[in-house]
Amino acid sequence: MLALASRSDSYGWTRKLILASTIAGKRTESTSSTTAVETGTDRSVNPRLLSAAGVPSGLESFMPAVRCVGMRDRITIASSTGSDQHKTAGIPFGPRLSVLGVTLFSILVVQALKWFVFYAKSTERAAVNMLLFYALMLVLPFVIARLVPPLAEFEIRWLPSSRWQWLWLLGMASVLLICGGIGGVLLGSYGHSLPNLTFSPLATNVRPVTVIVFGLVYVLVAPVAEEVFWRGYVLPQFARTLGHWSVGLLAHSILFALAHLGVQRILLPVLFVYGLILGAWRIRFGSLLPLVIAHWALNAVSLVPQFAAYYDAARSSYPRCQQIDALAARPPEEALPELIKFLGDSDDAVAAHAIEVLGQHFRSQAEPYLKDALCA
């Protein structure tokens, strides 16, 4: 209805509505200390103010919609109905603090879920857990918004509003690809291979197909889940509760980098800059699809070479690790001499798996054989 009114409005009533809405918002912000100011919800506008702005009577019902449209390109989400101003009444600790608390709680939930991935009993199980983890990260904002709608309002807009924004995407992607290249160099320079970064206790006996699953999850699934959660949900909540969008952007970028602390700590500076760049795009343009594409490109540049090398290593080491597993079922006097030979294997994954099997199955019987091997 608002769109139809703007087309048939030769006197600029729609613009006057927006002007009156803005004036009303500023006036209420400066004179009122009620909870409605803190929540940013729509407020009733004095009819005299509408009349002074030249708005005909009867159009005040459009005011909530105008306020929502006026904020559409920003990530602060306003309520779309006039009755929503009572939603946050009676919320303990105040609406702003409550919104911030719900957002921080959701981040803690995501970090807690991540531990199920790292403490899986097998690498194959870890791959399945990782897929479930990103699926839960993807749906968590929508679940929270459903459970506590006044405290978790956010907007997901996938497509850019204009074509020229895709040109901005090229520039942003170039910077992110440089960041991805730097990240790949850091990973290689400091010896942070994928097994060390993720599942080093479990990465000694990995099927090649498991590496492919990890690669697909990291490169394709993780960007969608992380962009929806961090840029789609967390950033808007911080921007509307921390006083200024720049403070929200900074806090979001710091937490986004710290969320990777246990896995990719060497990349914290790169991830912080990455969060700033994508967060600034979200604040300026609002669309998420370009961010997902840029995230895909970044993960591909930084992780695909690592996964390719890891896949080749898994393909060569997995058959020998299977031989070691077969020795675990044999008597100690038959298995131990063969297992000792694997300790000197040039492949670290094979040697590590031999040590793992010795510790699990032949801890007490292995000492004499180890002494003989060391003396030889």
Q: Please give the residue that has the higher pLDDT: either 176 or 259.
A: 259
Q: What is the 3-state secondary structure (H, E, C) of the chain?
A: CHHHHHHCCCCCHHHHHHHHHHHHHHHHHHHCCCHHHHHCCCCCCCHHHHHHCCCCCCCHHHHHHHHHHHCCCCCCCCCCCHHHHHCCCCCCCCHHHHHHHHHHHHHHHHHHHHHHHHCCCCHHHHHHHHHHHHHHHHHHHHHHHHHCHHHCCCCCECCCCCCHHHHHHHHHHHHHHHHHHHHHHHHHHCCCCHHHHCCCCCCCCCCHHHHHHHHHHHHHHHHHHHHHHHHHHHHHHHHHHCCCHHHHHHHHHHHHHHCCCCCCHHHHHHHHHHHHHHHHHHHHHCECHHHHHHHHHHHHHHHHHHHHHHHHHHHHHHHHHHHHHHHCCCCHHHHHHHHHHHCCCCCHHHHHHHHHHHHHHCCCCHHHHHHHHHHC
Quickly state the pLDDT bin for 181 (edges 50, 70, 90).
low
Distances (CA, A) of 220 to 134, 213, 256, 271, 295: 11, 10, 19, 18, 9
Does residue 116 register a pLDDT over 60? yes
Quickly state the pLDDT bin for 231 (edges 50, 70, 90).
very high
- pLDDT score recorded for residue 209: 80
Of 112-116, 156-160, 211-215, the one with minimum mean pLDDT is 156-160
Give the residue from 191, 192, 201 showing the smallest Cα distance to 352. 201
Do residues 332 and 365 touch, judged by C-beta distance below 8 A?
yes
Of 30-34, 234-238, 337-341, 342-346, the one with minimum mean pLDDT is 30-34
Cα Rg of the chain (Å, integer): 28
- pLDDT score recorded for residue 125: 79
pLDDT digits (tens, 9 = 90+) for 78-110: 333 333 444 444 444 456 777 788 888 888 988
Do residues 159 and 287 touch, judged by C-beta distance below 8 A?
yes
For the ranges 30-39, 146-155, 335-344, the maximum mean pLDDT occurs at: 335-344
Does residue 76 register a pLDDT over 50? no
Alpha-carbon gap, residue 164 to 157, rounded angstroms = 17
pTM of the predicted protein model: 0.60
Does residue 202 register a pLDDT over 80? no
Alpha-carbon gap, residue 167 to 15, rounded angstroms = 30
Non-local (6+) Cβ contacts of 134 within 8 A are: 217, 221, 222, 224, 225, 226
- pLDDT score recorded for residue 253: 93
Mean pLDDT along residues 6-28: 45
- pLDDT score recorded for residue 251: 94
Non-local (6+) Cβ contacts of 267 within 8 A are: 183, 186, 187, 260
* Burial label, 326 (beta-carbon count in 10 A; 0-12, 13-18, 19+): exposed
Cα-flanking dihedrals φ and ψ of residue 206, to 5°? -115, 130
Q: Please give the residue that has the higher pLDDT: either 200 or 55.
A: 55
Mean pLDDT along residues 357-372: 69
For the ranges 2-11, 37-46, 364-373, the maximum mean pLDDT occurs at: 364-373
pLDDT digits (tens, 9 = 90+) for 293-349: 888 887 777 777 667 777 777 777 778 888 888 888 888 888 888 887 887 776 777
Residues, the chain: 376
- pLDDT score recorded for residue 187: 54
